Amino acid sequence: MKPYYQNELTTIYHGDVNQVFEQIVLPEGYTTISDPPYNLGYHYDYYDDKKSETAYLDWMKFWFSNKSVIINYPEAMFDIAIHMNKKPERIVTWVYPSNTPRQSRIIAWFGCKPDLTRDGQPYKDPKDPRCIKRMEEGFLARLYDWWEINQIKNRNTEKTDHPCQIPLFLMERIVRVTQPSFVFEPFSGSGTTNLACQNLGVKSVGVEVSEKYCEIIAKRLDDNLPMFHNELAK
């Protein structure tokens, strides 16, 4: 199947993910990392985000029963885990200050475990002499199992025309602590998962049903490809 977009790290396919998946070959041991549709009736460009509960859970089970990392709201994540008859190896809560009805989501690892020592966070008290010493030595504070990372708002320079874009910083952290050898993103959306992989030198394949969103993904990947090359040159 001909890719919509491709560079040395990333391949993007345009089409229905069920049909695309039947025509491509993924390497053994790949990890599915995704912020999938939440089945809450969001107004996407092409996809109808309102399946029956059973159809939605069957869909999630099909895509995430292998080694995977999923973002979703807590209640849905519990339902997905029960339906898959699998418990997560690890859960982290993503929290964000917001005037929306929800201020947190769950990140769950199935069939794999994150290494939270692979990343860090700023010190809560940077004036503490012990923290100053650690910072001088180049160390960040230990990463908690809750991550406060702002959502992407309309005035954010990272914002695209996708209605449910997640922060690149969040996805880069997920990829960094998961350490996948190859990533599959069945619901690429604005391309954040694939872009995070590209920035960190991880090969990935993404599928997106909307051609409009594929255009967004291709532009983001092209615009940021020099960043990857610059990191290689260091």
pLDDT digits (tens, 9 = 90+) for 92-126: 999 998 888 899 999 999 999 999 999 998 888 88
The Cα angle at residue 44 between residues 41 and 47, in degrees rounded to 5: 85
β-strands 68-72, 104-110 pairing: antiparallel
Considering only CA atoms, which of 145, 137, 165 is closest in space to residue 153? 165
pLDDT, tens digit, 9 for 90 and up, residues 146-188: 999 999 887 788 999 888 899 999 999 999 999 999 999 999 9
Mean pLDDT of 24-38: 96
End-to-end distance of the chain based on CA atoms, in angstroms?
35
Task: Compute CA distances 129 → 124, 136, 140, 141, 144, whole Å.
Answer: 12, 10, 14, 14, 21
**Mean pLDDT on 201-214:** 97
Q: How far apart are CA 6 and CA 46, in angstroms?
A: 22
Q: Does the pLDDT of residue 128 top 70, yes or no?
A: yes
In 85-210, where does DSSP find H-type helix? 129-136, 168-178, 192-199
CATH for 5-233, options being 3.40.50.150, 3.40.50.720, 3.40.50.970, 2.60.40.350: 3.40.50.150
